[in-house]
Amino acid sequence: MPLTRGRLLKTGFAGGLVLALAGCAHSNGSTFHDDAAAYKVLDAGERGTVAALAPAFLAGALPTANGAPTHDALVAAVRGFDTALSGLPPVDVAQIQKLLGMLDNPFIKPLATGIWSSWSDASPATVTAFLNRWRFSPIELLRGGYDVLHQLTMAGWYGQDRAWQAIGYPGPPRLS
Query: What pLDDT was estimated at residue 15?
Result: 53
In a domain, 14, yes or no: no
- Which of residues 123 and 34 earns the better pLDDT score? 123
Residue 88 sits in which domain range? 29-163
In a domain, 113, yes or no: yes
* Distance, CA of 176 to CA of 172 (rounded, Å): 13
In a domain, 13, yes or no: no
How crowded is residue 130: how many other Cβ atoms within 10 Å of its Cβ? Answer: 21
In a domain, 9, yes or no: no
Q: What does the pLDDT average to over 61-86?
A: 90
* Length of the chain counted residue by residue: 176
In a domain, 172, yes or no: no
In a domain, 65, yes or no: yes
Q: What does the pLDDT average to over 141-152?
A: 96
DSSP state of 40: S
State the pTM of this model. Answer: 0.79
Q: What is the mean pLDDT of the chain?
A: 85
Residue range 4-25, pLDDT digits in tens: 666 645 555 555 544 444 444 4
Q: Provide the domain count of the chain.
A: 1
In 3D space, the residue among 132, 102, 104, 101 whose CA is nearest the CA of residue 118 turns out to be 104
Residue range 123-134, pLDDT digits in tens: 989 999 999 999
Report CA dihedral (138, 54, 127, 132) to the nearest 10 degrees: 20
Contacts (Cβ under 8 Å, ≥6 apart) of 51: 30, 32, 74, 77, 78, 119
Task: Place 112 in a pLDDT band, splitting at 50, 70 and 90.
Answer: very high
SS3 of 90, please? helix
Query: What pLDDT was estimated at residue 71?
Result: 87
Query: What pLDDT was estimated at residue 19?
Result: 46
Of 15-29, 31-45, 60-74, 130-144, the one with minimum mean pLDDT is 15-29
Strands (E), 45-155: 64-65, 68-69
